[in-house]
């Protein structure tokens, strides 16, 4: 089996990971606009369905086709469940009772689950002391960025918090599960397209039962623009990057994006919403940077490593 994570990530892979964190960080902005006028599940279904249409068009333009075998489509539906349906549903349900700061900390457990699952379920992404130390330091960095007041709320609503943790675990397992597409010879573009198509098929009955969208008032142009943005940028383009990074850098490295998303969200707020950069946020960014360096491994090996 090809050794994916025995090396440090290349500059190109780091650039893709940083870009992915920015486009996923931007999804919070788009979602905030869309959910003012539309129910959550309607936003989620529109997000994945519009992304499917966009990616199908991109496939056609690039001369690629979706695979037709039953085995690969079973994998697409499995990936859709693990990477969209289960975590979206659990996290949305959990956030009805849990503050966003607590949810951010719990979601940042994704790489911790990821390194454990990768160690148990793969032959080439084994846990090392550097990886474990890096994940713990990065997790603490997210906690510092969110702020100490959040910890006082970690004891409340344990059921809702377990839902969010289960969603994070599902994201982590999806990273391991998605490795099979490279072995099947499915391109990152086709993998992203198949996953969002499968997610749309699974989620559509749910939104018809829960939200009954035909009874909803017509959304304004700002909500429609937000849906297009979250579908085109934060889903279609994001999942293309996601599966490309997964194919070359491995699941453990891919899941580091969970640490980078809070940084992207804060920097976007500073750039576009005139928000202030707080000392604890700077400290958290430093810890996250140290954690990423520990996982990358160059910190241990030195310049020639």
pLDDT, tens digit (0-9, with 9 covering 90-100), for 26-84: 776 787 788 788 887 888 899 899 999 999 999 999 888 899 888 999 999 999 999 98
Residues in the chain, overall count: 305
Res 194: pLDDT: 94
Token couple for 109: 């457990």
Q: Give me the chain's average pLDDT, please.
A: 81
Q: What is the pLDDT of residues 244-282, one digit of tens each?
A: 888 888 777 787 787 787 777 777 777 776 767 778 878
CB 182 within 8 A of CB 5: no
CA distances to 38, 56, 157, 176, 293 from 32, in Å: 10, 27, 24, 30, 32
Whether the per-residue pLDDT at 195 is higher than 90: the answer is yes
Given a cut of 60, whether residue 122 has pLDDT beyond it is: yes
271 Cβ contact list (under 8 Å, min separation 6): none
In angstroms, the Cα distances linking 21 to 24, 50, 293 are: 5, 21, 17
Please measure the distance between the N-terminal and C-terminal CA atoms of the chain and give it in whole angstroms: 23
What phi and psi values does residue 246 have, to the nearest 5 degrees?
Answer: -60, -40
Instruction: With beta carbons less than 8 A apart as the criterion, state whether 107 and 262 touch.
Output: no
Work out the number of other CB atoms within 10 angstroms of the CB of residue 30.
23
For 242-254, letters b (16+ CB in 10 Å) and e give: bbbbbbbbbbbbb
Look at residue 148 and tell me whether its pLDDT is greater than 80: no
């Amino acid at each position: 089996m090809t050794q994916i994570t025995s090396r440090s990530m290349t500059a190109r892979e780091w650039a893709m990971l940083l870009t992915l964190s920015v486009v996923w960080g931007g999804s919070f902005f788009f979602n905030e606009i869309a959910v003012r006028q539309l129910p959550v599940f309607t936003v989620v279904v529109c997000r994945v369905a519009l992304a499917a249409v966009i990616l199908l068009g991109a496939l056609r333009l690039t001369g690629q086709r979706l695979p037709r075998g039953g085995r690969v489509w079973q994998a697409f539906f499995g990936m859709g469940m693990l990477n969209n349906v289960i975590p979206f549903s659990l996290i949305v349900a959990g956030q009805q009772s849990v503050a966003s700061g607590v949810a951010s900390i719990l979601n940042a457990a994704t790489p911790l689950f990821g390194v454990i699952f990768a160690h148990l379920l793969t032959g080439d992404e084994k846990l090392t002391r550097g990886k474990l130390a890096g994940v713990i330091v990065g997790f603490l960095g997210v906690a510092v960025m969110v702020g100490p007041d959040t910890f006082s709320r970690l004891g409340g609503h344990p059921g809702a918090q377990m839902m969010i943790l289960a969603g994070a675990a599902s994201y982590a397992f999806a990273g391991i599960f998605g490795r099979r597409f490279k072995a099947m010879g499915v391109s990152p573009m086709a993998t992203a397209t198949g996953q969002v198509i499968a997610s749309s098929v699974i989620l559509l009955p749910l939104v018809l039962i829960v939200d009954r969208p035909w009874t909803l008032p017509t959304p304004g142009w700002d909500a429609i623009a937000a849906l297009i943005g979250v579908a085109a940028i934060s889903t279609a383009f994001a999942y293309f990057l996601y599966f490309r990074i997964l194919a070359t850098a491995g699941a453990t490295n891919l899941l580091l994006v969970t640490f980078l998303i809070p940084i992207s969200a804060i920097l976007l707020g500073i750039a576009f919403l005139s928000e202030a950069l707080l000392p604890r946020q700077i400290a958290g960014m430093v810890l996250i940077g140290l954690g990423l360096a520990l996982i990358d491994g160059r910190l241990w090996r030195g310049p020639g490593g």
